Amino acid sequence: MTRPLFAWVALALASACRPASVAPATATTVSAQQAAAASRFVDSIATAQQLPGFAATAMQGDRVLWRHGFGFADVASATPATPSTQFRIGSVSKLLTATLLMRLSQEGRIELDAPVGRYVDVPRPLADVTLRHVLARRPRKTE
């Protein structure tokens, strides 16, 4: 069983951004050697999984610790990916949204059983749908 790429990226960034002698909460820099090691590791995983390209950034608070582009932004023209390359994330946004909603729920900032209309302006038929409904919705089967 292979781990998703984001798990490998997180592992590489965590090891690069936290020297063994520094606690996670106080790591604020990444040496050139650590950045190069993380880049090589993530690049090897991306190559093994035949990914065309992506960008990764490690941050602590508002401070960027490390940024790197991997592969191609445009395969046809062999344009390299950079840390600033914008990619379409497609269905990954569903995972990010669900994770954010669960985090906000844990912090008590939202209620999963509250109507969506409490948080965003939506047309009346949708205003009573709850966030829990949105998170649990299964796609319709196409015939």
pLDDT tens for 115-134 read: 888 888 888 888 888 888 88
- pLDDT for position 137: 63
How many domains does the chain fold into? 2
Distance CA 83, CA 85 (A): 6
DSSP state of 120: S
Q: Chain-wide mean pLDDT for the chain?
A: 75
Q: Is 142 part of a structural domain of the chain? A: no
Q: Is 143 part of a structural domain of the chain? A: no
Q: Which stretch of 32-36, 110-114, 136-140 has the lowest confidence by average pLDDT?
A: 136-140
Distance CA 103, CA 91 (A): 19
For residues 112 and 42, membership in a common domain is answered with no
Domain carrying residue 108: 93-136
Residues in the chain: 143
Res 3 pLDDT > 50: no
- pLDDT for position 86: 86
Q: Which stretch of 6-20, 83-97, 119-133 has the lowest confidence by average pLDDT?
A: 6-20
For residues 80 and 100, membership in a common domain is answered with no
For residues 72 and 24, membership in a common domain is answered with yes
For residues 9 and 53, membership in a common domain is answered with yes
Among 112, 117, 87, residue whose Cα is nearest residue 98: 112
Q: Is 32 part of a structural domain of the chain? A: yes
Amino acid at 60: Q
* % of the chain beyond a pLDDT of 70: 75
- In the numeric block, which tokens belong to residue 121? 């302006």
Q: Compute CA 83 distance to the chain's CA centroid, rounded to the nearest angstrom.
A: 14
For residues 82 and 112, membership in a common domain is answered with no
* Residue owning tokens 């990226």: 9
- pLDDT for position 77: 94
Rg (CA), the chain: 19
* Residue owning tokens 């909603």: 101
For residues 21 and 78, membership in a common domain is answered with yes
For residues 52 and 105, membership in a common domain is answered with no
For residues 71 and 97, membership in a common domain is answered with no
Q: Is 36 part of a structural domain of the chain? A: yes
Write the DSSP string, 61-79.
TTEEEEEEEEEEEETTTTE
* Residue owning tokens 């093994």: 48
- pLDDT for position 19: 41
For residues 109 and 83, membership in a common domain is answered with no
